[in-house]
Structure 1
């Protein structure tokens, strides 16, 4: 049997079935896609387009030098473009040979590439430009400084001596010489930038240092007294360190500091441990759960073994080392678990007698930066702690808490400079960590820059000045949250209740029933006042009887009144006092009472001294002629 006839029969049967069921045919086969071939074709097209872009750039660079060659190359470009277009059109014609498609459509990425092959080339150009810009930013750390915008927070009128940001960057805490600690919430502030809480946790002591813990739930407050305090996020007291006995010579034997505090900080790994240093010559570590006594005591010593006052202290990034800068210019570092001998000791880090205001470890934990009171900024390698790696001079420092800190990428070192009153503007200086050259500076205000803080999460710089201002520098592109949250909020207006009601003020004495009649003359008023015992000050009448209300009776109530009464009733005549006395002489001689009974046994008959002529003459002489014996 012929197979062609069989196929014709099947086709006729299909046509009959299709006519019966009411449609023209059973349809065509679903399209199948070779995804690997499509991706390969896309990759080749992208390579070709990138080569064309490179050739165009090279031609633009050499247009002036090689004019003829550039024209020939340009003439060849349309041929290359036509060839690429022919390749893509052939691939498109092969793929779109069937007008009706059955099955899922192409992914949008592949359709976009198929419609516009040059889009891959443009995307590659954008990527190359973005990568080149990123490389330039990476090479130049100055471009990462967020200083395009700033906001000003008014803490007070005195020096802002303490700054702290919580780890999330949501809240800022400031403290100053005016004893105040102010809380600022970036998410809750508007353009008015007002603190939501202000308190004086240490009464009349200046705030020296503030720092949030790693979890951000408590704040360490260091002030001018001998007891550090720990507050919660809302400013309520959590713990207060105990005070030591100032009469004990060995400071390790007492349970706390005995002199004013200089600095303090939290442990970077252990959430309940913090450290303080004081003028009593000790650095102490404390535990938040038990603040009755310190955990460990570190005692800095001079070259002669004498007590030295630590002015600043800090932990290393891993928390294993404790470093302290002292008044004699030394920097001493201990192992946290060995408190007797120092692990690293630099004898002449700064000039003796100058207070080292700040020491800070870099993020890699190898470099230590120190801000001295001798107007210098130095970096040290703790692996070779004999001499500084780099030194910057001419940085005025008039405060014992002037900061220095590292940038988040660990490539810059930041510190502030001090100025005298009306002596210019305080500056924020940026030094390259490798070359230690001043690469950038910001003029903050016409006062000294005391505190500076570069938050790594917000990428914003907080600066505290000596005139009571806090400057926040940020970049809308490079910074995150923080000051950007409160700047976009418009300042709230105070709501004033406006009521259009007519108020009637009624005083009781204005009514006719309470109104007193006006006096026409003063004589009648004086007569009335005379009859009033209070207005006329009438004296109180004498008390009759035994007395009442603290007053005694007029007669016989007291001894004085009894004596007065007897004297008044005495009828004797005292006009001649000699006769009044001699009338008792007979009774006194017969019944002696005072003197005579004492001499009855020894001298029953009294003997009196006889008066001589000499005595009479002596009595006649005046007093000033008498001989002094």
Structure 2
């Protein structure tokens, strides 16, 4: 079936023709819409109107979606070359404060230019009136190095009674280990300690050898232990042994032919970013690089030589931050470095007369940037060196007495200060911790620490806390309440909970299996069974009162389970009342007393009312008569 199609007429809009009357319209004429007709406009004007309406609709929709009221002014386009030329012209002249204000006023008047401009003196951002004091204070604090030292609070950790020769901190800042001359190694866990600051584990990893150096691996899961023995050990995070280096053959002259050290160890450290590699130094005049997976033999042997080619003992060794250099401080007072990317035959840098000959360089450490080296020696000096010119030191601080050959120094996390401790000299009451500026070489601050020697100093970069190992077995921690993070701050707020001590009394028991029950001695029970029996006893276990219930066993079950009876008995409002007694009989007990000594109602009606007459009991029912 063919149905007729519904079609619509085509609507044509002729925009080419212009209405002649529209050009002749004056300001006083009324609009065409008011006159009852439509005004014809040109094609360009129509297109502009359509674009304006479209932009308005899109911007309004975007505003509604984003929930904002407006986008502000449009940025003015400018010529970058012209702005750079204008900046070059205005750069040599430094305006005064008044000129700055006038220039700021001119910039505010320029409403059309919005956006980043080339950096000029006139466009430097100035602090607001609200933040001027804060900015000034922050600048003063940054300039003042003394304010950067975290020493506002102090915490003491007791390692033992002998000198603490080694300290090491976990890279994450969760734990610290300390080693002493009394062969003990203590583990300190900040997350598990309380305000008593007691270590959670104490071990003797190297039997009867003092702990000379400790160092955490880059991942923090292994600890290098360097003792007075010739064999270094690797422990895991909890103190269990993972590896022990092999001992070399003492009867071989060439140290490169032996598989390990043949004399006492002096120092050691881990590779900065390779977790399986570590470095040790020994009195056999060698440095050896080890691999954690190969405990039977070292990887590389480095020999330290004196001026005439003879052997010299390295007393300290370390890597730089990017592991491109290995540095060693020797007993002859020399500093020697080797490049790890080359053969270890010749030294890369060598300073023969760095310190006094015959005095051990007890510590050598690289700065965090890697351009400077600090050395601490037993000749009572500490020196700062620049790797680019190692012939002369930048500065030497003298008068720093050190009694132990493990006394060290360390850089601050920003390399602006150098920290070291001193041993207690004669005639002095306290040993001090010294802070020196690495740029001006002036003393920044001196902190009195203890009445004993200061041996180890550790400035943890992540915690921003300073740990100091003393000669009396004390490890002190200095921190700032605002600048330090976690670490000892987690422990000082925790209180120590005392444990309940159980007393054990030994009693001699005589076993008499055939004795009469009245003479039979009770068997001694274990403490666990005794506690279980006491738990069942309501008196010994101090069981609280059971809640009020209608069943038996409650606190008011003997005389009723109602709440009113319980309240009456406890508040003392009446004498004890038995709930099972007849209430009429209970009231009639007080009838005689109420008649003789009236108190409430009878005195009020005594004069106005006659004597009350109570109705008598009715007679018995008469029998029915027929």
Structure 1 contact 508–514 (Cα < 8 Å) conserved? no
1:183 paired residue number: 187
Q: Which has the higher helix share?
A: 1
The 1:4/1:484 distance shift into structure 2, 3 A limit, reads same
Find the partner of 2:377 among 361, 372, 378. 372
1:113 paired residue number: none
1:129 paired residue number: 133
Q: CA deviation at 1:130?
A: 1.9
Structure 2 contact 401–425 (Cα < 8 Å) conserved? no
Q: Segments of 4+ in structure 1 off by > 6 A?
A: 2-6, 503-506, 509-515
- The two structures have a TM-score, normalised by structure 2, of 0.62
Structure 1 contact 421–447 (Cα < 8 Å) conserved? no
1:410-489 pair list within 5 angstroms: 410-420=415-425, 423-489=428-494
Find the partner of 2:240 among 199, 216, 236. 236
The 1:476/1:512 distance shift into structure 2, 3 A limit, reads same
Find the partner of 2:72 among 8, 33, 36. 36
1: CA distance between counterparts of 2:503 and 2:248?
A: 60
Structure 1 contact 320–335 (Cα < 8 Å) conserved? yes
1: CA distance between counterparts of 2:245 and 2:502?
A: 49
In the TM superposition, what whole-angstrom CA distance separates every residue of 1:433-491 from its partner, at most 9, and x where no partner exists?
A: 01111110111100110000001100000000000000000011100000000111111
1:493 paired residue number: 498
| 2:341 paired with 1:305 | no
2:322 paired residue number: 318
Could you say which structure has the larger radius of gyration?
Answer: 1
2: CA distance between counterparts of 1:454 and 1:280?
A: 31
- The two structures have a TM-score, normalised by structure 1, of 0.62
Q: CA deviation at 1:508?
A: 5.3
The 1:124/1:352 distance shift into structure 2, 3 A limit, reads same
1:255 paired residue number: 259
2: CA distance between counterparts of 1:158 and 1:498?
A: 33
Aligned length: 415
The 1:384/1:4 distance shift into structure 2, 3 A limit, reads closer
Find the partner of 2:358 among 337, 353, 357. 353
The 1:505/1:259 distance shift into structure 2, 3 A limit, reads closer
1: CA distance between counterparts of 2:494 and 2:74?
A: 51
The 1:421/1:224 distance shift into structure 2, 3 A limit, reads farther
In structure 1, the gaps of 5 or more residues are 7-29, 41-53, 59-122, 516-629
2: CA distance between counterparts of 1:344 and 1:198?
A: 41
2: CA distance between counterparts of 1:339 and 1:291?
A: 21
1:520 paired residue number: none
Aligned-partner SS, 1:153? strand
In structure 2, the gaps of 5 or more residues are 1-31, 37-59, 64-68, 77-96, 102-126, 520-626
In the TM superposition, what whole-angstrom CA distance separates every residue of 1:208-251 from its partner, at most 9, and x where no partner exists?
A: 00000000000000000000000000111111100000000111
In the TM superposition, what whole-angstrom CA distance separates every residue of 1:112-166 from its partner, at most 9, and x where no partner exists?
A: xxxxxxxxxxx93342222211111111121110000011000000000000111
Aligned-partner SS, 2:429? coil
Structure 2 contact 145–444 (Cα < 8 Å) conserved? no
2: CA distance between counterparts of 1:286 and 1:142?
A: 41
The 1:343/1:505 distance shift into structure 2, 3 A limit, reads closer
1: CA distance between counterparts of 2:161 and 2:425?
A: 16
2: CA distance between counterparts of 1:296 and 1:186?
A: 37
1: CA distance between counterparts of 2:300 and 2:146?
A: 42
2:277 paired residue number: 273
Aligned-partner SS, 1:134? helix
1:292 paired residue number: 296
1:554 paired residue number: none
Find the partner of 2:171 among 167, 174, 180. 167
The two structures, once aligned, show a CA RMSD in angstroms of 3.2
In the TM superposition, what whole-angstrom CA distance separates every residue of 1:578-603 from its partner, at most 9, and x where no partner exists?
A: xxxxxxxxxxxxxxxxxxxxxxxxxx
Q: CA deviation at 1:509?
A: 7.7
The 1:3/1:166 distance shift into structure 2, 3 A limit, reads closer
| 2:407 paired with 1:402 | yes
1:75 paired residue number: none
Structure 1 contact 334–343 (Cα < 8 Å) conserved? yes
When structure 1 is superposed on structure 2, of 325-334 and 128-137 the one drifting more is 128-137
When structure 1 is superposed on structure 2, of 173-182 and 335-344 the one drifting more is 335-344
Aligned-partner SS, 1:235? coil
2: CA distance between counterparts of 1:383 and 1:199?
A: 44
Q: CA deviation at 1:291?
A: 1.5
2: CA distance between counterparts of 1:505 and 1:287?
A: 60
The 1:448/1:36 distance shift into structure 2, 3 A limit, reads same
Aligned-partner SS, 2:72? helix
